[in-house]
Amino acid sequence: MTAKIPTLDLTRNYGRIKEEILEALNTVLESQHFILGPDVAAFEKECESYLGGVSAIGCASGTDALLLALMALDIGEGDEVITTPYSFFATASCITRLGAVPVFVDVDPGTFNIDPVKALEAVTPRTKAFLPVHIFGQMTPLETVHEAFAARGISVVEDAAQAFGAWRKEGNQIRRAGAWGHIGCYSFFPTKNLGGYGDGGMNVTPEGSIADRIRKLRVHGAGTTYYHDEVGLNSRLDSLQAAILRVKLRHIEEWNEERRTVAGRYFALFAEKGLLGTVVPPQELEGNYHIYHQYVVKVPRRDELQAFLEGEGIVSRVYYPVSLHLQKCFSFLGYSEGDFPVSEQLSRETLALPVFPELTMEEQVRIVSAIGRFYGK
């Protein structure tokens, strides 16, 4: 029987770095320093030099990073935050948890990212923040709107949970995902391209006062232990995760490059099989360094294709079957079907194919051949 091809196989990645990881974990175990501590501080410093021009603050998850970011901007009851309906749930729940209102704006059909110009048109006197998501590992172009938002006193909070290491060229400058806006938010959930072996997250910001506030907010709002200036969260990155992430950060450039190689091979194989047109591959915007956190194609008869692939031992995923504005828990926002046609169409037509640095050419040939058989090519 042929082996199953998973969407992501973390065991192969572990095999490449096992010795380094065990050594790093052992150092933490010997120190018995598990919460925050030297490895967290070192990881934060290393992220700061990798991203450039920002302070980094580790926390317990990507969801908490989003929540901490909005709390640090004093976003609350009745404030509006403009964001995308085509993302993971946490992008919007962090807004409603603070009593603020997510104002959705439809996405671009090519990149699946929020259309920044339409986002600007959605500004009202109550808009406090713009929260773009760099979906599937490709940056939303922010250069056209960044200054316009800033001029209106609106903060840009980047959800870079899926885009660690992605970048975009602005003139001669390279802007890294998360390090462009007022606050960037990352997730180190194990399946992320920079993933720990448990939950983890991080905020980055170029503004010292915001960094200080987040540093306080992550430890119950205490500047000094047991002296609480405000009510914060208990959201700390633990040292074991930081030690793992430090090892992985050393390899992230190489792994992101390998993801791009995998994406390039898919494109060539689709072309070879005459599948381009039937299968619409991800579109990489000029000037973008897409890191293919997910490799998401648009296809006809998506659900049938997914079932067919499953029968061939190939696992694929649907991100996201329900747009955020149509989630049951957000019905109080008053949106209905048809409000964001692009996002809704993507939720019916997109399929995420296996993508990870260690995916082999042979596996990709199997995947594309199976897709070809399904469409009679």
Ligand X SMILES: Cc1ncc(COP(=O)(O)O)c(C=O)c1O
- Residue 360: CB minimum distance to ligand X, A: 26
Q: What's the token pair of residue 247? A: 């090892």
Residue 133 or residue 157: which is nearer to ligand X going by CB?
133
140 near ligand X, judged by CB under 6 A: no
Q: Which of 24, 58, 63, 84 binds ligand X (CB under 6 A)?
A: 63
- β-bridge mates for residue 167, sequence order: 176, 289
DSSP string, 142-202: -TTTHHHHHHTTPEEEEE-TT-TT-EEEETTEEEETTSSSSEEEEE--TTSSS--SS--EE
- Residue 100: CB minimum distance to ligand X, A: 16
d(CA 138, CA 330) in angstroms, rounded, equals: 27
Residue 39 or residue 158: which is nearer to ligand X going by CB?
158
187 near ligand X, judged by CB under 6 A: yes
Q: What's the token pair of residue 332? A: 């109080």
256 near ligand X, judged by CB under 6 A: no
DSSP string, 40-94: HHHHHHHHHHHH-S-EEEEES-HHHHHHHHHHHTT--TT-EEEE-SSS-THHHHH
Give the contact letters, 193-212, x = binds to ligand X (CB under 6 A), - = no.
------x-x-----------
Q: Out of 192, 216, 248, 298, pick the active-site residue.
A: 192
Residue 87 or residue 155: which is nearer to ligand X going by CB?
87
278-293 as b/e: b if 16+ CB within 10 A: bbbbbebeeebbbbbb
How many residues contact ligand X, by CB under 6 A?
Answer: 15
343 near ligand X, judged by CB under 6 A: no
In angstroms, the Cα distances linking 275 to 353, 375, 376 are 15, 8, 10
347 near ligand X, judged by CB under 6 A: no
Which amino acid is present at 98? L
Residue 330 or residue 374: which is nearer to ligand X going by CB?
330
Q: Which of 71, 90, 183, 242 binds ligand X (CB under 6 A)?
A: 90
Is 45 labeled as catalytic in the residue annotation?
Answer: no
Residue 97 or residue 265: which is nearer to ligand X going by CB?
97
91 near ligand X, judged by CB under 6 A: yes
Residues that are catalytic: 192
Q: Which residues bind ligand X (CB under 6 A)?
A: 61-63, 87-88, 90-91, 133, 159, 161-162, 187, 189, 199, 201
